[in-house]
Amino acid sequence: MQRLSFELLHTDGAARRGRVTVPHGTIETPVFMPVGTRASVKGLTTDQLAQLGPEIILNNTYHLMLRPGVDIVEQLGGVHKFMGWNGAVLTDSGGFQLFSLASIRKIREEGVEFRSHIDGAPYFLTPEGSVGIQTRMGVDIAMAFDECPAYGLSHAEVEKSMQLTHRWAKRSLAARRTSALFGIVQGGIHHDLRKASAEEISSMDFDGVAIGGVSVGEPKAEMLDVVNFTAPLLPKDKPRYLMGVGTPEDLVNGVAAGIDMFDCVMPTRNARNGSIFTSEGKVAIKNAKYATDERPLDPKCSCVTCRTVSRAYLRHLHTNDEIAAAVYNTIHNVSFYLDLMRAIRQAIASNSFGAFREAFLAVERESRVAGGEKDA
């Protein structure tokens, strides 16, 4: 059976409407993948997640190899069976963790030596090891093992890191078996490096190509610049994945640049922290002004949360640290993201994505201005 197939159905400017098929289903792109690091989309049961209808979610190699461990996941029939999830799964290779947990690792040519953040136990992860783990967990799409350089490094340092990522990409690819495998373009904020990396990674036989090393602390304008510059350099006949991005606005801009896949912690984490995405901008549900607000979070949303409870009740739940606050907020935020992607797909299909994007960004701008006036 084929690992992955990609069909480019339609384009509207640079925006692409496509379809990715993997063993666990068909994914309509552009797509947003909710993040479920430890084989759990935080705040949701697998059933609740399924009700929201994402076609694919993201899990994490680093976290799952530490707990419960690859052996256990494999023994239990793979990550899908483990969490009772029938949709597709993409795993990050652990490259990002070795960036965000920088203090407890040592990078070498062969791989990365690191200590578990849980119990300090020593591990050694290589490209072959990472891809092997992802394969054994039975994921639909695995990511190449890369190094994610921090923002602010010199051109020379980013270049050196990028070259290591390229060597690791070759080794990752050689280790590909049953799971599809995406390569990752690095290069920081430097156009020449991004170009070199895009060419190098694109030349390899990956099933898809990702832009990594973005949203690591750089100003938003630089991120946009990197995406706008790099996306057009990627193969047209493969899915393009922008890793770790982003805000609703970022998704719309990413699609405009020609990105097909996104993942981000933002809808789930912000939900737990009481920050809600709505069609009218952000709602900080803990704010006193919602104490007696009987409206739903978003009048244009039809998710379970918006159909059932008021802002006043959600503020009450959040104020009292009730678990239901996280559940309701996560349901809504994930719904909002999935709805947004649906609307984006529709706009592309009807050749109106440009207008859609303009209207969307105008609302975002307005809500920001409105929030600013309130603060002043």
Partner RNA sequence: GGAGAGAUGGCUGAGCGGCUAAAAGCAGCAGACUGUAAAUCUGCCGGUCCACGACCUACGGAGGUUCGAAUCCUCCUCUCUCCA
Q: Which residues bind RNA (CB under 7 A)?
A: 35-37, 41-42, 58, 60, 63, 92-93, 95-97, 99-101, 103-104, 117, 143, 146, 148, 184, 210, 212-216, 220, 223, 243-247, 250, 263-266, 268-270, 272-275, 282, 284, 286-289, 291, 319, 321, 323, 326, 371, 374-375
Closest of 255, 141, 218, 232 to residue 185, by C-alpha: 232
Rank residues 135 and 268 by Cβ distance to RNA and give the closer one. 268
Residue with Cβ nearer RNA (247 or 279)? 247
Q: How far is the CB of 351 from RNA (least distance, A)?
A: 27
Cβ pair 161, 199 in contact under 8 A? no
Phi/psi region, residue 42 (left: phi>0; alpha: psi -120 to 50; beta: rest), is beta
Q: How far is the CB of 28 from RNA (least distance, A)?
A: 21
**In whole angstroms, how close is the CB of 228 to RNA at the nearest point?**
15
214 or 231: CB nearest RNA: 214
Q: Please report how close the Cβ of residue 40 comes to RNA at its closest, in angstroms.
A: 9
The answer to whether the CB of 267 falls within 8 A of the CB of 251 is: no
- The C-alpha atoms of residue 56 and residue 25 are separated, in whole angstroms, by 8
Q: Is 209 helix (H, G, I), strand (E, B) or coil?
A: strand
User: Is 23 or 197 the residue whose CB approaches RNA more closely?
Assistant: 197
Residue 39 or residue 301: which is nearer to RNA going by CB? 39
Of 207, 260, 263, 298, catalytic? 263
Q: Is 92 assigned a catalytic role?
A: yes
Annotated active-site residue in 12, 92, 250, 339: 92
CA atoms within 13 A on the CB side of 96: 20
Instruction: Give the H or E element holding residue 142.
Output: strand 141-143
Q: Shortest distance, CB of residue 85 to RNA, whole angstroms?
A: 15
8-state DSSP, 244: T
- The yes-or-no answer on residue 250 being catalytic is no
Q: Where in the chain does DSSP place strands (E)?
A: 5-12, 15-22, 25-29, 31-34, 56-60, 88-92, 105-107, 112-115, 122-125, 141-143, 180-185, 208-211, 240-242, 261-264, 275-278, 281-284
Structure-token pair, residue 301: 């949303």
Write the DSSP symbol of residue 35.
Answer: B
| Catalytically annotated residues | 92, 263
